[in-house]
Amino acid sequence: MIALLYKEINSFFGSLIGYVVIIVFLLFNGLFLWVFPMEFNILDNGYAYLDNMFMLSPFIFLFLIPAVTMRTFADEKKTGTIELLVTKPLTDLQIVLAKYFACLIIVIVSLIPTLIYYATIYYLGDPVGNIDTGGTIGSYIGLIFLGASFISIGIFASSITDNQIISFLLSILICGFAYLGFEFIYSLDLFGPIDLFIKTLGISSHYTSISRGVVDLRDVAYFLSFISIFILLSKISLESRKW
């Protein structure tokens, strides 16, 4: 499994798409947070916080993470290498997990350079250090959980097709609904007493909760359960070749 994990990471960074994904993520964040005169601009707002980045990043992830995951299984199926992969002494679950953790490592690597934003705000603050470090740490944890959830969806979408474009679009659709769909249904106020329960089914409410700087075990349990469900679905999809 470790060998496959290394292979997936090397394959990603051995192609241009790996660097493009990371550069695009940093470029979009940098432009919206520091350059474009919009509501997300930190310098225009005049407040020493990174909240705007954690509001913006989920929407960037909606497109970038499907771009990372779309080839995980779809490309293997299209080229026929999936047959070679499944002959290795690995279970279907180990194959799925290796690809999952490779994508997760890539997403975390793309987040590391954003720590420069934290350092910049820390030293630009008046007084120096006038930033909610606890809230920032919580927001990073929330963003990693969010990215991990989107990756599990992307892996599943890639496992059910041999077309990368279909995988990409399907992943965006499911991620978008998981993040925003339940919030939209909740806002319609159609279900009365269970409206709040419907809201808690979505990723957004749990991501927002962790981003406040308080890591609630209920939110952690939600994300781990969500990720586990889609990893299990990916495993079932991979096993379907035997049926």
Best mean pLDDT range from 36-50, 68-82, 228-242? 228-242
**Domain interval for residue 69:** 2-242
**What is the greatest pairwise CA distance in the chain?**
65
Between 37 and 237, residue with greater pLDDT = 237
| Residue whose pair of structure tokens reads 């603050």 in the numeric block | 125
C-alpha 36: how far from chain center: 24
| Residue whose pair of structure tokens reads 């989920």 in the numeric block | 58
Please report the DSSP string for 36-63 in residue order: S-STT-HHHHT----HHHHHHHHHHHHH
Q: Minimal CA–CA distance to 60: which of 158, 118, 146, 161?
A: 146
Helix axes 133-159, 164-176, angle to 10 degrees: 140
SS3 content of the chain, % helix, strand, coil (to 5): 80, 0, 20
Number of domains in the chain: 1
pLDDT over 90 (residue 34): no
pLDDT of residue 239: 82
pTM: 0.91
